[in-house]
Amino acid sequence: MALSLSLSKEIKVGLLALVAGVILYFGFQYLKGTDLMAVQREYHAVYNNVSGLKKSNPVKINGVQVGKVANLTLISGNRVVVTFDIERQYRLNDSTRAIFASASALGDKEIQLIVGNGTRLLTEGDTLIGRTEPGMLDIVAEQAKPIVRDLDTMLVNINTLVKQMQKLSQPLGGTLQNLQSTSGKLDNILAQNQAAIRGIANNLNSMSAALNDPQTGVKPLMAKLNAAGDTLSQMQLAETVQKANASIANINKLLGDINQGQGSLGKLAKNDSLYNNLNRFSANLDSLMVDFRQRPKRYVHFSVFGRKDKEKKK
């Protein structure tokens, strides 16, 4: 009786442990997002690389989760078969593509199903068309390729320039040595002629001092030249004014003589006889011209047959 009671207790403990394990398993599956009551179909897709993809990652259609990744299997050729479960209410056809893509910028991965207009519905266990969508790093790498090429070209040009500079370094070194030698020779020449250079500098200083001297320098000489020029200008101006005054006096004397009737111009201006004579001459000339027009034969004798006229008169 006692043995049966002890066995019954062990059975109770074992049953309790089994129930706890079942509850723990289903609770874990529930926390993973598995619908325990849903009926699912299993499909496959083959990829070259599924880095970042894990079991239980979502499988979506147009952004809606319709299943999850069930298993990852490496096959020959280092290719990967991805097995995923899809709820039975979603039917896939032969044009459906399984895209391995990034779920977020943080690197999470998922399978995106693109369902086309297929002609045949897939059955459970069929293999879908697998494609890999380029990730953010792949896009950045693709866009960085031209920059990398430009950098490579720049490095090649820099290397070429450095080699050319190395080739030019020897001639430049020789030129610098020549400049140093020339500089040394100039220093020697200056050292040898230092006394003469010092004498030339002293002479220039003496000349400058003489030119700046207030008694015999340039300023007194210029003042004297200015004074002489002013005197000469004043003498020429006085002579010109004197001549102009003499000319004006002669003109005034001539005008006075004319007003007084002296001289030929004065007589012409004051005496009316010349004017009267000219009027009479003009009148006589007019009379002569009128008589000439009226009786031209008095003044001009012209005949083609002059000899016969004379004989008839005889």
Per-residue pLDDT of the chain (314 residues; tens, 9 = 90+): 444 445 577 787 888 888 888 888 777 766 665 555 557 889 999 999 898 898 989 999 998 999 999 999 998 888 999 999 998 888 889 899 999 988 877 778 899 999 988 888 888 889 888 888 875 555 565 677 788 888 888 888 888 888 877 777 667 777 777 788 888 888 888 888 888 888 888 888 877 777 777 766 667 777 777 777 777 777 777 778 788 888 888 888 778 777 776 766 666 666 677 677 778 888 888 888 888 788 777 776 655 555 545 444 44
Can you tell me the distance from the alpha carbon of 88 to that of 260, in angstroms, rounded to the nearest whole number? 152
Whole-model pTM: value is 0.37
CA distance 177 to 162: 22
CA distances from 197 to 111, 193, 194 (A): 95, 6, 5
CA dist., res. 217 & res. 209, Å (int): 8
Q: Looking at residue 9, what is its pLDDT?
A: 76
Q: What is the Cα 130 distance to its own chain's centre?
A: 52
pLDDT score of 72: 93
